[in-house]
Structure 1
Amino acid sequence: MRYFLDAEFNGFGGGLVAIAAVPEGDEVAPFYEAVECPEPNPWVTANVLPVLLTKQRPLAEVAHMFSSYLAADTDPVLIADWPEDIGHAVALLTNGRGGRLVGCAVRFEILGTSDFASESRSEVPHNAYYDAVALRDWVVSNEHC
């Protein structure tokens, strides 16, 4: 199944703050979790933390939850519009000490440049879940044109 991915992070190159994987269909619930961010930069403090709408958890806990979520699918494909989103998703599939947390194959796709902008399409900009929903809706609607 295809999952549309979005991540919020503590500035470019910074640590993960939140991640969402929204499935293409309704048969699977979406994944959305936030990670503890002890030293958020000012932009994240002003724009991301106020709209998290979920409890922040330790990174290791979110990694196990994300890996378990994807392991329930025999052929997950994560689609993102930004390479760093995929980088954070890949990092969550390890235990941070060289161990792998997910046994299934996971494929990734980075969309080409486009006119998609989550800031203008998302119901709650800078919330990874709502941004992933907006990405899914945009991709699916453009496939049917």
Structure 2
Amino acid sequence: MRYFLDCEFNGFGGALMSLALAPEDGSEDYYVVIPLEEAPEPWVERHVVPYLRSVPDMLFNQLDRVAAAHDIARYLSTDPDPEIVADWPEDIALFCRLLLTAETEIVDISSLRFHFLRTPGFSTARNSAVPHNALHDARSLRDHIIEIEQ
């Protein structure tokens, strides 16, 4: 199954702050917030931080980086062929880096596929119910891609 990915991070090249996966079939979404070890960039402080909790309480999950990696592996563990879809290359890079739990360790995940889709003229933030919230942006991406495929 496809999972539409969005991440929020602390400025260009910055640390991962939140990650969301919105499954194409509308089943339970995944959302995690990873506390920053440094102060957020000013733009991030204004446009991202205030919206990190703007998700249903049952989906809000705050974990350290290693715990988040294991949690994502558990979330995807029942799918024999998960495909992660993103419209921004840094989201894929952040997702992959998160799976590394130590210098030579990776979470227990058997296989993953990634699909990068350019979405010219479409902005997840402009079309999101809560702009710059990874969960709402991932849902926006999912809805857009499914709509244009029909």
Deviation per residue, 1:9-59 (Å, 9 max, x gap): 001111100000100003x31110000013211111111110011453211
Name the SS for the 2:101 alignment partner: coil
Ranges in structure 1 where 5+ consecutive residues have no aligned partner: none
When normalised by structure 1's length, the TM-score is 0.93
Question: 1:103 and 1:4 mapped to 2: Cα distance?
Answer: 18
Q: Which letter maps to 1:105?
A: S
SS in 2 for 1:44: helix
Q: Give the ranges of 4+ consecutive aligned residues of structure 1 lying more than 2 Å apart after TM superposition.
A: 54-57
Hey, what's the Cα distance between the residues in 1 that align with 2:109 and 2:70?
A: 12
What amino acid sits opposite 1:33 in the alignment?
V
State the partner residue of 1:67: 73
Amino acid at match of 1:140: I
Q: CA RMSD, aligned part only?
A: 1.3
Amino acid at match of 1:11: G
57-66 or 17-26: which moved more? 57-66
Equivalent residue number for residue 19 of structure 1: 19
- Please state if 1:58 is matched with 2:57: no
For 1:120, give the aligned amino acid: R
Q: Following TM superposition, by how much is the alpha carbon of 1:105 offset from its aligned partner in structure 2, in angstroms?
A: 0.8
Query: C-alpha distance in 2, partners of 1:96/1:13?
Result: 20
- The within-5 A match list for 1:100-115 is 100-115=106-121
8 A Cα contact 1:79 1:108, kept in partner: yes
Deviation at 1:114, TM superposition (A): 1.5
| Matching residue's letter, 1:85 | D
In the TM superposition, what is the alpha-carbon distance from 1:113 to its structure 2 partner? Answer: 4.2
Q: Does 1:83 align with 2:89?
A: yes
TM-score, normalisation: structure 2: 0.90
Count of matched residue positions in the alignment of Structure 1 and Structure 2: 143
Question: Does residue 138 of structure 2 align to residue 132 of structure 1?
Answer: yes
Structure 1 residue 29 and structure 2 residue 19: aligned? no
Task: Give the partner amino acid of 1:13.
Answer: G
Show structure 2 runs of 5+ residues with no match.
Answer: 54-59
Asked if structure 2 preserves the Cα contact closer than 8 Å seen for 1:23 and 1:29, the reply is yes
Q: Residue 98 in 1 paired to residue 97 in 2?
A: no
